[in-house]
Amino acid sequence: MLFTDKMTHITDLTDNEKRIVQYIKKNLEAVSTMSIQTLASKTYTSHSAIVRLAKKFNYSGFKAMRQAISNDVQQNITQLNDIDANFPFSPDDSAINIAKNISDLTINAIKRTLIQVNEEELISSAKMIIDSKRLVLFAIGDTQIRARSLQSKLVKINKFAIIAEEYSDESWSAINLDKNDLAIFLSYTGNNSNYLKLLKFLKKQDVPTLLITGNPNSKLIDYADQNITIVQNEFDVFKVSTFASQMTFEYLLNTLFAIVYSKSYKQNLIKMQSNYDKLMQNDILNNATEPKKRP
């Protein structure tokens, strides 16, 4: 999670801590090389107040927090906030300006995701997919479209996934899982009460679970075996569409599939060629892709 996002999501700050946070927001680059003495002087606070704030952000102290700020500056994170993820265009924008804004938003969303993603989390998540006997995807609304995209990719490498909510059977899908399976939950808001119940149940049953969310404060995280949390500047409800969050899901799921594929790269290519030859030899692929001509 980016430091700039932590400043947005943190709560229960004292007046002094709020003043420090506001100063950092306005002077991110300067603070990245600033001493604790200077920051205390600029914010009319004390060393101890800054250290307490750093620990609220889950850093060991000021130096660790400053390093996180420096990382954001080096990644040019401030340049990624120019496009409003919730309202990326106005009614007065021309068609080409709207096209440019959506392009910029797409690039920004993927860059923000890449900056936040953790390699160990990716490797662990991919291994869970590889090791699973059965795979069930829990996703609703726009997110289910991304889940279906992953489902389509996996079947081509002989990995069959089920969309749990496809026929409103998510409870039955969950109840039949065991320790050899994997349940993947996709929820950007992380506030789905039914998912919380299911995750609690699956944890009791020792069923492996993977959560991908955009909410670092989600209660779902406490019950998932592995989670990937990526924060975008997107509101839960008040927005034109779920542009940024869906780009995040698409990018992450494509990345996980690519990692899974790479672990058996040669075998997957050989199998794909073999399957393709069988389809062509039996005229199955043509029938599936081209309409039959009438006599």
Q: What is the pLDDT of residues 233-247, one digit of tens each?
A: 888 778 889 999 999
Q: Provide the pLDDT for residue 19.
A: 93
The reply to whether 96 and 192 lie within a common domain is no
Whether 208 and 88 share a structural domain? no
Q: What is the pLDDT of residue 233?
A: 82
Number of domains in the chain: 3
**Residue 56: CATH number of its domain:** 1.10.10.10
Largest CA distance in the chain: 87
pLDDT of 290 higher than 90: no
Residue 292 pLDDT greater than 70, yes or no: no
Same domain for 52 and 184, yes or no, is: no
Tell which residue, 29, 96, 98, 69, has the closest CA to residue 240.
Answer: 98
Domain span including residue 73: 3-77
pLDDT digits 0-9 by tens, 4-16:
888 877 888 999 9
Say whether both 139 and 213 belong to one domain.
yes
Structure tokens at 216: 């670092």
Backbone Cα Rg of the chain = 23
The rounded distance, in Å, linking the Cα atoms of 237 and 217 is: 17
Q: How far apart are CA 226 and CA 135, in angstroms?
A: 15
User: Considering the domain boundaries, does residue 186 fall inside one?
Assistant: yes
252, two tokens: 């992450």
**CATH, residue 141:** 3.40.50.10490
**Does residue 294 have a pLDDT over 80?**
no
- pLDDT over 90 for what percent of the chain? 67
Whether 179 shows a pLDDT value over 90: the answer reads yes
Taking the C-alpha atoms of residue 128 and residue 140, their distance in angstroms, rounded to an integer, is 22
User: Are both 219 and 123 inside the same structural domain?
Assistant: yes
Assigned domain for 45 exists: yes
Range list of H helices, the chain: 3-9, 15-26, 28-31, 36-43, 47-56, 62-74, 95-116, 119-131, 142-155, 170-175, 193-204, 243-263, 265-281, 284-289
In a domain, 280, yes or no: no
Q: Domain for residue 219, yes or no?
A: yes
pLDDT for the residue 106: 92
Domain co-membership, 50 together with 86: no
Decide the pairing of beta strands 182-187 and 161-163: unpaired
In a domain, 97, yes or no: yes
The mean pLDDT value of the chain amounts to 90
Which of the four pLDDT bands, split at 50, 70 and 90, describes residue 77? low
| 222 pLDDT higher than 80 | yes
Q: Which of 57, 89, 115 is the last residue of a domain?
A: 115
The answer to whether residues 162 and 108 belong to one domain is no
Please give the Cα distance from 128 to 5 (Å, whole number).
28
In a domain? residue 149: yes
Is residue 136 assigned to a domain? yes
Residues 168, 110, single domain; the answer is no
Query: Quick check: is 291 in a domain?
Result: no
Token representation of residue 131? 């090791």
